Amino acid sequence: MQETLKPGIKYEHKFLVPLSKTVPALYPESTEFAVMPEVFATGFLVGLLEWACIKAINPHIDWPSEQTVGTHIDVSHQAATPPGCEITVKVELLAIDGRKLLFNVEAHDGVDLISKGRHERFIINKQKFDIKVSAKAKQI
């Protein structure tokens, strides 16, 4: 963690929604998803919000040896977005508690506010994290 990692960091990320990020593409194995509307999927929205938070703080941590993982998400998905729309995500780092980071997040598709809420991330040491995950995988 660098000294520049402080509450108040803001970041804006833009993303053009392709067909591959719509509900039918979320889980190709799901026959239920396959027949749903071709709009930006909530699962991909969550990933987009996480991505913006990662981009916001990577200059302020020792990337890539330090990384962050999502630990909590509390967001709305309040409007449908068809492919071809550009989504603008705005994030702000609100608080730091040790290695826990709390963000305010919102997304707009150029017509509607599509999401707002909070997201929590945790700073990890990538090497130590990988060792723990590898040990867990060996237990399966």
Q: Which of 13, 22, 50, 81 is catalytic?
A: 50
In a domain, 22, yes or no: yes
pLDDT in tens, 8-65: 999 999 999 999 999 999 999 999 999 999 999 999 999 999 999 999 999 999 999 9
| Number of structural domains the chain divides into | 1
The residue range of the domain holding 133 is 10-138
Q: Within a domain: residue 4?
A: no
Is 2 a member of any domain?
no
The band of 1, judged by pLDDT with boundaries at 50, 70 and 90, is: confident
- In the set 38, 60, 77, 92, the catalytic residue is 77
Tell me the residue ranges of DSSP E strands in the chain.
10-16, 66-75, 86-97, 100-108, 113-125
User: Is 50 known to be catalytic?
Assistant: yes
Residue 60 annotated to the active site? no
The band of 112, judged by pLDDT with boundaries at 50, 70 and 90, is: very high
The neighbour count for residue 52, using CB atoms within 10 Å, is 24
Q: What is the mean pLDDT of residues 67-89?
A: 98
Active site residue: 42, 60, 88, 92, which one?
42
- CATH number reported for the structural domain that contains residue 123 in this entry: 3.10.129.10
At 17, list the tokens: 């929604």
Give the pLDDT score at 19.
Answer: 97
pLDDT of residue 119: 98
Residue 3 domain-assigned? no
Give tens-digit pLDDT for 117-131.
999 999 999 999 999
